[in-house]
Amino acid sequence: MVILENDYLVQGGAGLSGDDFKKKLCQLCERAGANWVKTSTGYGFVKQPDGSYNYKGATEHDLALMRASVSAKVQVKAAGGVRDLDGLIKVRDLGASRCGATATAAMLDEYRRREAAEKAGATSTSQSGSLGAGGY
Question: For the domain that residue 98 is a member of, what is the CATH number?
Answer: 3.20.20.70
Q: Would you say residue 106 has pLDDT above 50?
A: yes
Q: Is residue 130 part of a domain?
A: no
| Number of independent structural domains in the chain | 1
Kindly report the average pLDDT of the chain as a whole number: 88
Instruction: Give pLDDT tens digits for 119-128.
Output: 998 876 666 6
pLDDT at 50: 87
Query: If we measure between CA atoms, which residue out of 124, 118, 76, 128 comes closest to residue 100?
Result: 76
Q: How far apart are CA 78 and CA 96, in angstroms?
A: 7
Find residue 78's DSSP bridge partners. Answer: 99
Q: Which residue range forms the structural domain that includes residue 84?
A: 2-119
Instruction: Give pLDDT tens digits for 44-74.
Output: 777 778 888 877 788 999 999 999 999 999 9
Please count the helices (runs of H) and the strands (runs of E) in the chain.
Answer: 4, 6
Task: Report pTM.
Answer: 0.84
Q: Is residue 131 part of a domain?
A: no
Q: Is residue 9 part of a domain?
A: yes
Q: What is the mean pLDDT of residues 127-134?
A: 68
